[in-house]
Amino acid sequence: MTKLTDDTAVDVYYGVGDGTFEAPIVIPVLPKMRDIAVADLDGDGAPDIAALAVAGTMILYARGRTFVADGVYRSGRGVTEIVAGDVDGDGRQDIVSSAFNALAVLLNQCP
């Protein structure tokens, strides 16, 4: 389970298996965070995070119980929401974010 802690961090909660959760792992992200999407973006079976902020979309790949930032991609002005889904039908999760008057599409290029 994930949630936005404030506008600069994402909390990740791993399930214990009995209906409860471990203490959160706090992941710093870009300031002025707006939304997150969780999906397997690199095809390794682990859920990754796409974090949408005013400065752009930050991709965080899961590596065990840590996350590694891949970079920041421009998303447009006035960003509001982000979702993951297979936009181009290639079987990989892509990222779509909405901005003031446009959509930004990040097509997944992971092998």
The pLDDT tens digits for 52-83 are: 998 889 999 999 989 999 889 888 788 889 99
101 or 91, higher pLDDT: 91
64: Cα within 13 Å, side-chain hemisphere: 1
Q: Does residue 35 contact residue 18 with C-beta atoms inside 8 Å?
A: no
d(CA 30, CA 20): 29
Asked if the model's pLDDT at residue 91 lies above 70, the reply is yes
Mean pLDDT of 23-42: 91
pLDDT > 90 in the chain, percent = 57
Q: Which of 6-15, 46-55, 61-70 has the lowest mean pLDDT?
A: 6-15
User: Any idea what the Cα angle at residue 44 is, between residues 69 and 82, rounded to 5°?
Assistant: 55
